Structure 1
């Protein structure tokens, strides 16, 4: 079986204080961190045992995972498994990067978000250059708020042309055509993010070849549909996997709508769906 798994455990703490994020500067207790570590190690053990499957794994923690040793260790261990095609994580890149030398660069990847005002620009850019020196696949992006525009332009100009810089439409923000054009100059794929996608009744790969898993092992088709398909650890989810239509009116998050079969994004991001790296990085015109 070819299976893409989006894992989100109980971790919800972050070292940044972004005003647009509900998890900014949240602290997990020691007990919560122990529970998150145990849940992640259980998941990693499950993934290691699935030698008859072909797995692609994306960690999408509410908080920042790579400041925790167990997330770094999970990426290293999973990247070395021959049946794990890709293992990636969403990160603010505030962590150290030397640990990636132990991972297999053919399968590990990072989806990095730059948060202006939360980390010095030169520090973030330096981390990107460290990833490049280690031959680690990565994409970089920003939230498309007006106050981030110049920082994004500066970052786009500094990054190598082959590194994709994506722009996420800010939640609740309506873009004029002129504003959208400005962001599209930096990220030619921004139009996919600008508006929520109508999804009701449309075919989606989630629930068939893509699943979401929480720290208890509860399997859902994606992070945004609460109906349960079974449990990862007793295998009950497998009987529920089948083609199915989206039950929601719209899908407005990249980790959701990238799997809609009515959009061409599996072709656009061929080989890099999890880490958000297009098969051919479109040239930006506004760097």
Structure 2
């Protein structure tokens, strides 16, 4: 195996925001759940440190990971491993960002989402400017709710030069052409997110060079296909890795469809696949 991309999602589900479009808003993990999440993450980090081949990791927690010290430590430690090409995490940036000073900025990256109404605008923008000054790779995004349009336009105008602002189509929402045009002015790639992608039978890198791993080490091809390929820690997943078509009718999440080969998004994002930075917006 030359290189493996891993989407890791442990048991953490708590978040400090209460976005109305998120089922995990303001959810609290018990101390026992937090201890279990920490132990699972430390086990995963240890596996990556000794896996013996090139690897890239995107942490996709249901909750907010970077308010927890063990996620900041994992990102920092993994960024210094020579066989780790990229380590990234999805985050709302509610945490301090000074911890990034201890990481290798050539490997660390953040996928940050702005949630209007959850955080003062200037505070979020200040975090983005701080990251840019520190030379940290990051993208910024927003959910394409109609009430977010003005905030998205303002953010596009104020973000540091070269920062990509992506727009996720709101789940279940249909955009007419005028609405889609407004969002495309902000994010030229919004048409890719606008509608779910027909995927059944199409070649996809998941299950071959990309896998999903949970806190127990269970390996699946992606977060959206429940069938199990094996386990990370006993190595049983390796024999199951192979090119295979998508078994689902549609794929409507970026962390899934970016790996659908007919879409050609590996060419669009190049080295920024995990942190959602297109080649034209490559940083620092």
For normalisation by structure 2, the TM-score amounts to 0.98
Quick check: 1:89 aligned with 2:67?
no
> Shift of the alpha carbon at 1:73?
0.2
SS at structure 2 position matched to 1:280: helix
SS at structure 1 position matched to 2:139: strand
**Equivalent residue, structure 2, for 1:285:** none
**Equivalent residue, structure 2, for 1:33:** 34
Runs (4+) off by over 3 Å: none
- In the alignment, the residues of structure 2 paired with residue 92 and residue 145 of structure 1 have an alpha-carbon distance, to the nearest angstrom, of 17
- In the alignment, the residues of structure 2 paired with residue 44 and residue 21 of structure 1 have an alpha-carbon distance, to the nearest angstrom, of 28
> Shift of the alpha carbon at 1:281?
3.0
- In the alignment, the residues of structure 1 paired with residue 172 and residue 247 of structure 2 have an alpha-carbon distance, to the nearest angstrom, of 22
> Shift of the alpha carbon at 1:159?
1.0
**Equivalent residue, structure 1, for 2:7:** 6
> Shift of the alpha carbon at 1:133?
1.1
- In the alignment, the residues of structure 1 paired with residue 172 and residue 251 of structure 2 have an alpha-carbon distance, to the nearest angstrom, of 14
> Shift of the alpha carbon at 1:160?
2.6
Contact 2:132 2:160 in 1 (8 A): no
Contact 2:200 2:245 in 1 (8 A): yes
Q: Deviations over 1:14-71 (max 9, x none)?
A: 0000000000000000000000000000000000011x31101000000000000000
- In the alignment, the residues of structure 2 paired with residue 133 and residue 12 of structure 1 have an alpha-carbon distance, to the nearest angstrom, of 31
Structure 1 unaligned segments of length 5 or more: list them. Answer: 283-287
**Equivalent residue, structure 2, for 1:125:** 125
> Shift of the alpha carbon at 1:161?
3.4
Contact 2:11 2:37 in 1 (8 A): yes
Structure 2 unaligned segments of length 5 or more: list them. Answer: none
Equivalences for residues 1-287 of structure 1 within 5 A: 1-50=2-51, 52-281=52-281
- In the alignment, the residues of structure 1 paired with residue 88 and residue 124 of structure 2 have an alpha-carbon distance, to the nearest angstrom, of 19
- In the alignment, the residues of structure 1 paired with residue 176 and residue 211 of structure 2 have an alpha-carbon distance, to the nearest angstrom, of 35
SS at structure 2 position matched to 1:66: coil
- In the alignment, the residues of structure 1 paired with residue 91 and residue 43 of structure 2 have an alpha-carbon distance, to the nearest angstrom, of 21
Q: Deviations over 1:141-177 (max 9, x none)?
A: 1000000000000000001331000000000111010
- In the alignment, the residues of structure 1 paired with residue 267 and residue 161 of structure 2 have an alpha-carbon distance, to the nearest angstrom, of 20
For normalisation by structure 1, the TM-score amounts to 0.97
SS at structure 1 position matched to 2:262: coil
- In the alignment, the residues of structure 1 paired with residue 22 and residue 86 of structure 2 have an alpha-carbon distance, to the nearest angstrom, of 27
